Amino acid sequence: MSDHITEDWLRACGFRWSQEDRQPHKHWLLWLADACVDREGRRVSASDDLGIELTLGINGEPWWYCWVRADYAGRYTRFLHIRHMTTQAEVVQLIEAMTGRPWDPADVFYGALRSPEQAEHYRRDEQRLDKRLAKAWGERVDKELGLDPAKDERVGP
């Protein structure tokens, strides 16, 4: 996997658009703390204690800034710049190093990477009748309005 990082790839992997005040470009955020568990399978921190955030380089440069992010006070509070990245493999390697587990984008729900056990719980939850009906209704409305859900056109910053 040596393809270049793109917004479409980040979106497909579950990163969420997160653009705060005074940020001129889209930032893509994935929370990782829920996937970090100790040897007994217990979470070691709160959901927003550890995340990875990327944004495209200055003036459309082909590299991406990459930060570790922590939101201790409910709003972005700590950013630690890691380095510039260009390939998807670099992002995956960083995620695997930070979580201590293999990367599986199917385990991302609501902008956060979950442990395999949590992800299975979310997958079962999505099969509830009320959720399936809501999803079908949303797809119907998107189709009637000519929106592309893959482009997240309904969701703003």
pLDDT 10s per residue in the chain (157 long)? 569 999 999 999 999 988 777 777 788 999 998 887 776 766 666 666 788 999 988 877 889 999 998 876 666 567 888 999 999 999 999 999 988 889 999 999 888 898 888 888 888 888 888 888 888 898 899 888 888 766 654 444 4
Cα dist from 37 to 32, 45, 114, 115, 155, whole Å = 10, 8, 10, 8, 31
Cα dist from 26 to 6, 16, 63, 68, 133, whole Å = 12, 10, 14, 16, 32
pTM: 0.74
The total of other beta-carbon atoms located within 10 Å of residue 91's CB is 24
How deeply is 83 buried, as exposed, middle or buried, from its count of CB atoms within 10 A (0-12, 13-18, 19+)? exposed
